Amino acid sequence: MNKSPNAQRMEKIVSLCKRRGFIFQSSEIYGGLNGVWDYGPLGVELKRNLKNYWWRVMVRERDDVVGMDGSILTHRAVLKASGHEDTFSDPMVECLLTNRRFRADQVPRQNGIAHHYLGAIGTTALIKAELTMAEPGRFGTTGIKDKLLSIGALEDVAGIVRHSLVQAMGTLSETDLIKLNKVVTELSAEIRELPFSALLKEGKSPQAAREAATAFYTKRGIQDPVLIGERADKVTNSKDYNPENGSLLTEPRAFNLMFSTQMGASADPESIAYLRPETAQSIFVQFKNILEVSRKKLPFGIAQIGKAFRNEINPRNFTFRSREFEQMELEYFCRAEEGMKLLDYWLEERLKFYENIGISRDRLHVKTVPDEERAFYSKGTYDIEFDFPFGRQELEGVAYRTDYDLLQHQKASGKSLEYFDEETKQRFVPHVVEPSAGVDRTVLALICEAYSIDEAPDEKGKMETRLVLRFHPRMAPIKCGVFPLLKNNAQLVAKAKEIIDLLRPQMNVFYDEGGAIGRRYRRQDEIGTPFGVTVDFETLGENDATLRDTVTLRERDSMKQERVAIEDLAGILMSRIR
Ligand code: GAP
Q: What is the pLDDT of residues 438-457, one digit of tens each?
A: 999 999 999 999 999 999 88
Using CA of residue 59, residue 61, residue 65, residue 68, what is the dihedral sign? positive
Report which protein residue has its CA nearest ligand 1's atom 10. 436
Nearest to 367 by CA among 402, 388, 392: 392
Nearest atom in ligand 1 to the alpha carbon of residue 436 is 9
Q: 67 near 304, Cβ under 8 Å?
A: yes
The answer to whether 524 and 438 have CB atoms below 8 angstroms apart is no
Percent over 90 (pLDDT), the chain: 80
Q: What's the 420 CA to ligand 1 centre distance in angstroms?
A: 32
* Across 241-258, average pLDDT: 93
Contact assessment for residue 282 and residue 276, using Cβ atoms and an 8 Å cutoff:
yes
Question: Which ligand 1 atom sits closest to the C-alpha of 279?
Answer: 1
Ligand 1 site-directed mutation target among 307, 318, 325, most atoms within 8 Å of CB: 325
364-368 and 380-388 beta bridge pairing = antiparallel
| Mean pLDDT for the stretch of residues 376-404 | 97
Compute the distance from residue 29 Cα to the ligand 1 centre, in Å. Answer: 28
Q: What pLDDT is recorded for position 179?
A: 85
For residue 48, report the distance from its CA to the centre of ligand 1, in Å.
Answer: 18
C-alpha span between 329 and 351 (Å, rounded)? 15
Q: What is the pLDDT of residues 371-387, one digit of tens each?
A: 988 988 999 999 999 99
How much is the pTM? 0.80
Strand pairing class (480-484; 531-535): parallel
Give kind and range of the element (H or E) at residue 347: helix 339-356
Find the helix packing angle between 156-169 and 174-189, rounded to 10°: 140
Ligand 1 centroid distance, CA of 239 (Å): 25
The response to whether residue 538 sits with its C-beta less than 6 Å from ligand 1 reads no
Q: 325 CB less than 6 Å from ligand 1?
A: yes
Q: Which of 4, 2, 12 is nearest to 448 (CA)?
A: 12
402 CB less than 6 Å from ligand 1? no
pLDDT for res 398:
98
Report the alpha-carbon distance of residue 116 to residue 200 in Å, rounded. Answer: 11
pLDDT of 444: 98
pLDDT reported for residue 456: 86
Q: What's the rounded Cα separation, in Å, for the pair 296 and 332?
A: 12
- Report CA(389)–ligand 1 centroid distance (Å): 19
Residues written for the chain: 578
CA angle, residues 320, 324, 329, in degrees to nearest 5: 80
Cα(215)–Cα(209) distance, integer angstroms: 10
Could you tell me the distance, in angstroms and rounded to a whole number, from the CA of residue 430 to the centre of ligand 1? 24
Model confidence at 115: pLDDT above 90: yes
